[in-house]
Each structure stands twice: as structure tokens, then as C-alpha cells.
Chain A
Amino acid sequence: MPPSTLLLTKELPTLQYVSTPECFDITWEAPLSTLLGLGRAAGADFIEIFLERSNYISCLAEEAAITSISPRLATGAGVRVFHGKGDCYVSTNNLSFNGLKSALEKALSILGLNIPSPNAYVPEIYLEMIRDYAAAKDKQKWLPECSSMQEMGDILLAANDQLEKKASHIQSRRSMYSRDWQEVMIAASDGTFARDIRLTQTVGSNLLCADGENRTSNGLRDGDTSDPDFLRNWGYEKTAEELAETAGKMLYADYVESGEYPIIMANHFGGVIFHEACGHLLETTQIERKTTPFIDKKGEKIAHENLTAWDEGRSEDAFGSLDMDDEGMPTQRTLLIENGILKNFLADRAGSMRTGHPRTGSGRRQNYSFAAASRMRNTYIASGSYSVDTLFASVDKGIYCKKMGGGSVGPTGEFNFGVDEAYLIEKGKVTKPLKGAILIGEAKEIMNKISMCSDDLSLAPGFCGSVSGSIYVTVGQPHIKVDSIVVGGR
């Protein structure tokens, strides 16, 4: 029970909080409020406590057998304390009151702050009435309604069976599924008090085909947040068909000849170019480090006038959607670039404090072991007015990047992307398949070379690794034309 009168520091050891161990409910309010008050009494400017419980499982089918079912259970907390310009983040597996208090004390002491004397009062922190997104949307039922281990295995084996039926020259076939269920609670000394449940699932297949020295490997992945029936409804036959078709084309592909080309990038996962080449550079994390060329460009033209781009956390079921971010702020729809003009940056709490840009519900983290940082959610280039045919017709000789691999951007704005499936464009027509292409460029330059956007926006799930760990995101775009880019190859 919470104390009935103002609490003295010396009374802390006598407190006996009983919080529900199985879920983060209102019984956690009193101990969290006391800890936040204790942090304020020690002189901290701001304290945030992040609680997490997760139940993850992955399943792998190889050939005609399930070769791995891997459950993972985790609980943990992160305590973040701000003092002056510095902040300290301490994570722990111990969610008892004393465990959290130890983490808080460690964070305070690192910042040179101490628990006040025994007779000092611990100020009360009045938390807002809990914003419980889990209860509001009845998310408690999600986990029990997800596929059982048996069902996971059956569906993945059926998917592998389809791969065998539809592809030739198979060296190996794999299908994999993962379900990440996460319950979080956030309490902060500004009164923030919120709870949510997230359910993120991904499923896909990989196909490796070989014929003598010719080899090709391809994969397709789908993802979802919030649908317990996601795996049951997975269209693995279509996935197998697409992979088999791609493998048939790419198995005997020639290596791309390196050089500078105009390119057409397909919609869907093609959006990874914007994610890497621009999105990361619009995070306040990059402004803090001064590693973005766009640091002082708000309101200025940074991209071609035909380009508009968004980052948002609201699209129904999209892989990067969240009701609230990992700092308890409701997510929003953030206009990044409008007709080439930079409109907004993506800011978490610390980023906002240090750069002055308003918070956008973009504070995200992989789990309790990371402090939140400004990260993307669903990020995409908006549809344009051109037809796809018009884009191709504008290219005399270039590369069609139908399926992108991963990519990254360095601290000086230089980026690169692998291309998993590419074709030569000759006189506006797609001709022979090409392999081994990697796109290389510089963010500032490339944004002005995206000259045409078609009208077929499509989103794709992805994983993004950065300072606060690996998180689920969506990338997306319509077909776009880049007037010129360096293509590395042979």
C-alpha cells in the first residue's frame, strides 16, 4: 500500500508494495510513483521508468522438418535519469521494488546525486490516470489467440512443400515465423503513466537454388502488428510462386557492370533507400551528433520538388505502427518533406530537450536494455502523379532495381544498398536480369535526383538497427526514378 502521509526517506525499507507479477496494472502505480519521487528528492531533473515483459517465439522449417522452435521469456526495466545536460540509463532484470530502487540509486550516483538524508521528505509524484492502450483495445486476448506451436509447424511445413513444388534446382528451402509479444509500462516524473501490449509477427521463406557454379538466394517476408490470425492467413502459395519465379530469372543472371546509371526503383521494399539515405538523417539523434547534412535545413528545399515523405505510427497493422512510443507518447503522423521542403525532424524526449525540435512520438527501443532514441516508424515516399510506364519510358539505358536488400548510411551521409533482384533497362524496356549490384551515393545529392514518383505506393516490413537496438519498421514508396547513381558491380 502507498504511504498515507508524506514519506520520509528512512521509511523506505518499511514499505511493502505488492504489485501484480503477471501483468503491469494499476498496482504498479504506487511503487513507481515513490521511486520517481525519490529520484526528484535526490535532485534529478527528470526520471523515467520503463517496464517490459516479453514472450517471444520463433519457428524454423528446413526442407521437410521443423528444426527449431525457440521460445524466449524476458522481464526487465530501464531507469533513466536526467540531470543537467547528462543522462544515465540503468537496466536490470529485477522488477521488485528493491531491484528498481537499486537501479535508480545507481543511476543517481553515476550522475553525482545521492538519496537524501533519512529525515528528508520524498515528494509525491502524481501520475496521470493510466492510459491503458492494452485495455482500451482489448489486447489481452491477442497472445492466447495466436497460433500454437503445432500450428506454426504445420503452416511452415506446408510453405516449404509449396516451394518444392514450384521451384527447380533447389539446394535448400526454409520458412520461418516469429511472434514477439511485449507488454510495457512507462512512468515518468512529469506524470506520464501508460501501458500497452504489442504483438509483432513476421513470416517468410528463403530459397537457395544452384546449378553448377550458378547460385541464387532469394527471400520474401511479410509482417504484421496486432492480428493474432496473421500466420493462419499467410498466403504461402503466392510467396512460393514469387520466389520460384525470381529464382528462375536470377539463377543465370550476369553480374552488373559497375558505373553510373539512371535507375528505376520498385515500390514496396524499395523504400529502404529513403529510410537509409534520408530518414536516419532526420532523427534528432543525428542532429545531436551533428552527423546530418540537414541539421539547419528545416523549411529549406532538400529534395526534388516532386518528392513528399511521411513518417507515422498510425497505419493499421503496418509493421512500424504503435499506439504509443516507448516514452509513453501517442504516436503521430509526421510530415517530413513536402514537395522537396524539409518540414519536420523525428524527436524523442532527449532529442527534443537537446535540439529544441518538438517530440513526435518517435522514442523507440528494442527492449528494456536500451534507452529510447529518436527512431522511424512507418516511413515512406508519398505517391506521385506519374504512371509506372512513364518512368520506364524515360530511361534509355539504366537499371531496374526490383528487389532491394539491406543498406546503411554512414556518419558523413554516404549510403549504400544491396540489390537482390535487378534488371537492365534498354530503351524503356526491362531486359536481362543482373546480380551483384550495390547502389552507392550521398544523401544530400540523391534526394535531388529522385525526379519522378509513380502512383503505386506500397509498404513493406523491415528491421532497423541503430543506437537503441533493432526495431520493427515499415519502409515504402511508389516506383521512383533516380536520375543518376553509382552502381557498384564487376
Chain B
Amino acid sequence: MIQVRELANYTGDIARSLGIKKYDIYGSSIDSTNVQVDRGEPKQVKASNRSSVIVRVWNENDTVGVTSTTDVDPNGIKLALKTACEASFFGVKENIPDFSPEATNPLPEVQYNKTSQIPVSELIDKLLNAEKELLETHPAIESVPYNSLSQQDIDRFYLNSEGALREEGRTYAMVYLYTKTEEAEKKPRSGGSFRMSQGMEALAIADCVKEASEKTISHLNYQKVPSGKYRVVFSAEAFLSLLGAFSNMVNAQNILDKQSLCTPESLGEAIASPLLSLCDDALHKDNVAAETFDGEGTPTRRIPLITEGILTGFLHSAGTAKQMNATPTGHANLGAKITVSPHFYHVFQGQSPEQEYKLEEAENTILIDELNALHAGVNSLQGSFSLPFDGWLMNKGDRVSIDAGTVAGDIREVLKSIIYVEKEPELTPSGVCPRIWVDGLSITGEN
């Protein structure tokens, strides 16, 4: 792991020797172990202990250059500072980035208990047991071709030449199980589940096994659905993945770059049904990956983005906030061009619904559990998507798995066609969200 104060000291000395007066650094170290198994045997173990930093330098003309490096010893930092200085002469001349005005503000207090890593042999045993239990849940489950159990220690820091210095450490444990079935004269089917926690002790491996098994079994009997327009219910994971694919709508950098479906003037407009509200909340109590500062050292916080259907906020870096006369929100990633990204979405009911719906009473309704291939089927600049999905056709409590269906639409229409936001939220790694009901989406199945 990087000794941050030591690094800060020698970076200061090197910068002075190079005549560099203004700089900042964001960096991280990761110590991780990951195991995979295959039919009762350990398959592969991966371990890594790596560090990297990104160095940003302002030259005498006040333009900025960056360089990232994995060499964090004094020689590596010296080369990075020199290279960044060289790049700085090609830096932007307008809207030049500056330190975040909040880089030394107090950080929010988050209760966090780092946990110790367990021995690799125990990791393997835990995963072997999970694989065994999963295979025993149904004879059709022939293998768990994709599986992993991993633990990570991540330390991250930000410092600048004006004395800002922040650091924090996190520990994570993650399990992923993905099955494959084999039955005579049937297509192979599959089901996956993922769990994440702050440490191995709290990791709900049994829940992961149960969910992977239940999903797989629910897909064993499948049918094609006729193509047409359907009422669709998105699971939390599916809806959050769709929101994530179109996050340019609330991303201030994308908006300034004209790479968004929204403009600065969109604030205050109705972009969704009044039934929907959305915040980004890095500090949400259920976010096991809660970070208290971003890549520019800005403290993170809860940001309302959509309030009862109205666009009420954007995600900002220090630079976008300055350009749009707003406040940094703690969403910046340091780089030659600062990017902005969400932390943890919180979707919840906006206005009270006039009518409530229940899945067990729904007729000819499609429940989408997971959207696939988002990198291929989403055109985030046009708003359109056409995506394969895993899901079921729901009819009065009965559910039948759908074979090879795709759902297509436009995100702006989807948001406005929401007819119900359920009350009970589900926790996923990217946020909390209840099931979302949308009317009139195009489904391609069979003709």
C-alpha cells in the first residue's frame, strides 16, 4: 500500500526541484485475492498488489497536464511530474481546471469497519461449498461455469500542493455464481446472482446460492412470447442498469460537451412521470462501497436528480460546477479531461400513485429481471435501446420464462410512461430501487 504522507513529502521536494508550483495527485492501492472453482476442484487463484496515481500539473501559463503511472517511488513520480508538465503545454486554454474549492472541507463522517482478509484456503473452501450446494439444488443445474469469491483492500487518497490531503481505506468481499443447465431436448438455461459486503463474514453466500438456484429453476420451462407492446415491470437491477446506461442525462460534463439528452436548460423540466424520484447518494446507508470524497477531493453527498418527475440536479465536478454556476457534488474522476460519474442511485416513489399494482395479479405482463448487452444495444446519444433480457411472462401469479426476448424503446418515453413505482426497495450493488412498472414497451419475441 502507498504511504501517502511519505509520498506527499517527496512529491513536494521533487516538484520544487522541477520548478512546479501547483499540482495535485489522486491515487489508489489495491490488494486483492480472487478464487474460482470448477466442479469440486480449485481452478484458479488470482492475487494482486498494485498501485497507481494520476498526477496533475499546472505550468507557468496556468494550463494543465496529467500523467498516470504505476511507479510511485520517487523516480516514478519524478518522471510522471515531468511528463505531465510536458503535456500541460497542450492543455485546454478555456475553462481551465482548478483545485476543487471543497478539497479541504471537512469530510462526512461514515462509520466504516475495515475487515481482515481471510486465508485463501478458506476462500476456496467457501466457494467449493457454494458450488456444491448450488449443484445439489436441482438435477438440471449441470455446472457453475462462472463463479468467483474475492476480497479486496482498497486505499485511496487525494493531495494537492496547497495542503489538501485525504485518504480512506475500504474492504470488500464479493461472490458471483452463474449456472448453466443441461436437459435433454431443451436449450441450456442459466441464472446468476451477485452479493457484496464490507467483509467476508457479512457476505451472504447462502443468499447468493439461493437466488442463483431459484432464478435458474424458474427459467427451465420457457417459451417465446409474441412480439408486440407489453406492460413491463423492471426489477431494481434492470431499471438501475438502464438508468446507468443513460446517465448522460444528469452528467454535467456530458451536457456541456453536448453528449447528453439534456441541456443546461433542462433543469426544472418534467422528464419523468411524477411518480418517480431519483437521488444519487454515495453515503446511502446501504452502499457498501461508500466513498467520502471524489477524485478532486470534493466531499460526496446526497444529490436529488429527479424529484416527482422534475429534473432537479446534475452531477458535477469542480469544473462543471464553475461553468454552470453550481456547487461541486463530489462525482469527479481525475484525468486530463475530468469525467463525472454516479456513485449509488436511490430510486423511490415520487407523488402518491392513483392506482397500485401487484405482480401476482398482473396479466400478460413482462417482468424483466436483467437487461443484457447494454454496451451493444444502447445508443445513449439518441436515447434509444434495444436489449435482450432475462425475464418472465406473468399471468395472475404464474410465471413462465421468456426465451430470447428483446425490449426496445426510448429512455425519455420510458421515464414518462412509468405507471407505478413500488414501495419496497431492493438493494443492488449500484443502488436501491423498487420495481418499476412501465406501459407500452416493444418486445420482440416470435412473429
Say yes or no: B87 contacts A208, CB within 8 Å.
no
- Whether B327 sits at the interface, judged by CB under 8 Å, is no
Give which listed residue, B50, B72, B121, B386, contacts A418 with CB less than 8 A: B386
- Whether B146 sits at the interface, judged by CB under 8 Å, is yes
Say yes or no: B376 contacts A85, CB within 8 Å.
no
Name the CB-closest residue of A to B146.
A411
Least distance between B36 CB and chain A CB atoms (Å):
10
How far, in whole Å, are A172 and B254 apart by their CA atoms in the complex? 11
Say yes or no: A486 contacts B404, CB within 8 Å.
yes
Chain B 47-61, CB within 8 Å of chain A: the 1/0 string? Answer: 111111000000000
- Whether B145 sits at the interface, judged by CB under 8 Å, is yes
- Whether B221 sits at the interface, judged by CB under 8 Å, is no
Say yes or no: A412 contacts B70, CB within 8 Å.
no
How far, in whole Å, are A143 and B383 apart by their CA atoms in the complex? 41
Say yes or no: B227 contacts A417, CB within 8 Å.
no
User: Which residues of A138-177 are within 8 A (CB) of B?
Assistant: 149-150, 153, 171-172
Say yes or no: A86 contacts B45, CB within 8 Å.
yes
Give which listed residue, B71, B190, B384, contacts A75 with CB less than 8 A: B71
Chain A 287-306, CB within 8 Å of chain B: the 1/0 string? Answer: 01111000000000000000
- Central interface residue in B33, B76, B145, B336, by most chain A CB within 10 Å: B336
- Residues of chain B within 8 A of A66, CB atoms compared: 90, 92
- Residues of chain B within 8 A of A480, CB atoms compared: none
- Residues of chain B within 8 A of A410, CB atoms compared: 190, 372
Say yes or no: A258 contacts B376, CB within 8 Å.
no
Say yes or no: A217 contacts B50, CB within 8 Å.
no
Say yes or no: A489 contacts B444, CB within 8 Å.
yes
Say yes or no: A217 contacts B379, CB within 8 Å.
yes
How far, in whole Å, are A371 and B68 apart by their CA atoms in the complex? 23
Say yes or no: A73 contacts B83, CB within 8 Å.
yes
- Residues of chain A within 8 A of B41, CB atoms compared: 85-86
Least distance between B80 CB and chain A CB atoms (Å):
7
Say yes or no: B145 contacts A88, CB within 8 Å.
no
Say yes or no: A89 contacts B46, CB within 8 Å.
yes
How far, in whole Å, are A217 and B80 apart by their CA atoms in the complex? 36
Give which listed residue, B47, B376, B442, contacts A90 with CB less than 8 A: B47
Name the CB-closest residue of B to A59.
B90
Least distance between B350 CB and chain A CB atoms (Å):
25
How far, in whole Å, are A291 and B67 apart by their CA atoms in the complex? 41
Interface size class of B (residues with CB under 8 A): 35 or more
Least distance between A61 CB and chain B CB atoms (Å):
11
- Residues of chain A within 8 A of B187, CB atoms compared: 412, 442
Least distance between A172 CB and chain B CB atoms (Å):
4
- Residues of chain A within 8 A of B47, CB atoms compared: 88-91, 106-107, 110
- Residues of chain B within 8 A of A490, CB atoms compared: 408-409, 442
User: Which residues of A76-114 are within 8 A (CB) of B?
Assistant: 76, 85-93, 103, 106-107, 110-112
- Residues of chain A within 8 A of B107, CB atoms compared: none
Chain B 429-447, CB within 8 Å of chain A: the 1/0 string? Answer: 0000000000000101001
- Whether B297 sits at the interface, judged by CB under 8 Å, is no
- Central interface residue in A69, A112, A150, A410, by most chain B CB within 10 Å: A69
Chain A 360-377, CB within 8 Å of chain B: the 1/0 string? Answer: 000000000101000000
Q: Contacts A291-B180, A410-B372 given: A65-B87 contact, CB under 8 Å?
A: no
User: What secondary structure prevails in chain A residues at the interface with B?
Assistant: strand
Chain B 177-219, CB within 8 Å of chain A: the 1/0 string? Answer: 0101000000111100000000000000000000000000000
- Residues of chain B within 8 A of A91, CB atoms compared: 46-50
Say yes or no: B442 contacts A371, CB within 8 Å.
no
Q: Contacts A86-B41, A86-B45, A371-B44 given: A437-B386 contact, CB under 8 Å?
A: yes
- Residues of chain A within 8 A of B189, CB atoms compared: 412
Name the CB-closest residue of A to B66.
A70
Say yes or no: B190 contacts A412, CB within 8 Å.
yes
Give which listed residue, A90, A111, A489, contacts B48 with CB less than 8 A: A90
- Whether A2 sits at the interface, judged by CB under 8 Å, is no
Give which listed residue, B372, B386, B447, contacts A436 with CB less than 8 A: B386
- Central interface residue in B42, B65, B189, by most chain A CB within 10 Å: B42
How far, in whole Å, are A444 and B174 apart by their CA atoms in the complex? 33
Q: Contacts A69-B65, A70-B336, A258-B444 given: A92-B48 contact, CB under 8 Å?
A: yes
Give which listed residue, B44, B335, B376, contacts A417 with CB less than 8 A: B376
Q: Contacts A106-B47, A208-B259 given: A489-B372 contact, CB under 8 Å?
A: no
Say yes or no: B384 contacts A153, CB within 8 Å.
no
- Residues of chain B within 8 A of A486, CB atoms compared: 404, 406, 444
Say yes or no: A438 contacts B90, CB within 8 Å.
no
How far, in whole Å, are A215 and B79 apart by their CA atoms in the complex? 44
Q: Contacts A88-B44, A93-B70 given: A67-B49 contact, CB under 8 Å?
A: no
Say yes or no: A171 contacts B258, CB within 8 Å.
yes
- Residues of chain B within 8 A of A217, CB atoms compared: 379, 381-382
Say yes or no: B337 contacts A67, CB within 8 Å.
yes
Q: List 26 A-B contacts (CB under 8 A).
A: A70-B66, A70-B68, A73-B80, A85-B41, A86-B42, A88-B46, A93-B70, A93-B71, A149-B87, A215-B381, A258-B227, A258-B406, A258-B444, A260-B447, A290-B143, A291-B180, A371-B44, A410-B190, A412-B190, A416-B372, A418-B376, A436-B384, A438-B408, A486-B444, A488-B406, A489-B408
List 8 tightest A-B contacts by C-beta distance, closest first. Answer: A488-B406, A289-B145, A258-B444, A68-B337, A70-B336, A68-B336, A438-B386, A406-B376
Known: A90-B48, A215-B381, A438-B377. 12 other contacts (CB 8 A): A68-B336, A69-B336, A71-B83, A88-B45, A217-B379, A255-B408, A369-B50, A407-B376, A408-B376, A411-B188, A416-B406, A440-B444
